[in-house]
Amino acid sequence: MVGKVYLVGAGPGDPDLITVKGMRCLQQADVILYDRLVNPELLQHAKEGAQLVYCGKLPHYHTMKQETINHFLVKYAKKGYTVVRLKGGDPFVFGRGGEEAEECAKNHVPFEIVPGITAGIAASAYAGIPVTHRNISKSFALITGHQAGDVEAEHQWSHLAKAVDTICVYMGVSHLPSIIKHLIQHGKSPKTPIALVHWGTLSEQRTVVGTLETIEEIVEKAKIANPSMIVIGEVVNLHHRLNWFEKEIIPQLPVVQG
């Protein structure tokens, strides 16, 4: 008898932000394949005897290849197990959930998608930055920072710079100079506000704010690295008033001698 695969979004980091349905799947699973950015506290809710399989990935280093993860999902389900693929954020937002669902469908394995709160919205909210605002932002885009060096994606920057009010970039710290260059080249003002939210929704969260022309120096001074969300747009200006979760970081920049 074939089991079932649940592609579950664990949320952005704070374990309290997993959905009720996601938690129920987690508690009932026979096998849990989990990612690096899943909060380890969530695994304490696994039932006794559940098999935990780490599938974490670091930049430029994959503990387990995607093809291997796909293989395990099908293998365990065909043994009759209830399988949870526990992924940070939402399975269908830069989580390769679509690829894993396709693999299940191809092999006639029943599956279900359990959405999670994605970091682009959650990290922004925890930094006091609404991605939409009636008077400021009527549209937003979620993009991956990895496309910054992708020649085939170059044409997208023109649309992003001109047609979207708020841009949320996932895992883009290492490509920050390229992101800024492309946005300014395609019409964004160098004065456009930008924030980086490091370890969003966790107690370690830190947020730095600047403009496209100043943020690189601020990020370097504050030593902000991945995992971080980049938020670009006028809504970033609300951070100073709506910052409810953390103490604001204002790094001291070197004095420029005139």
**Has this prediction a pTM greater than 0.75?**
yes
Which pLDDT tens digit goes with each residue over 56-72?
866 555 568 999 999 99
3-state SS class at 108: coil
Active site residues: 35, 57, 171
Sign of CA dihedral 43, 44, 50, 52: positive
Which pLDDT tens digit goes with each residue over 165-186?
999 999 999 999 999 999 999 9
- State the chain's mean pLDDT as an integer: 91
Can you tell me which residue has the tokens 């902000």?
A: 224
Phi, psi of 23 (to 5 degrees): -65, -40
CB 230 within 8 A of CB 191: no
**Cα–Cα nearest to 55, from 22, 116, 10:** 10
CB 233 within 8 A of CB 138: no
| More confident of the two residues 162 and 255 | 162
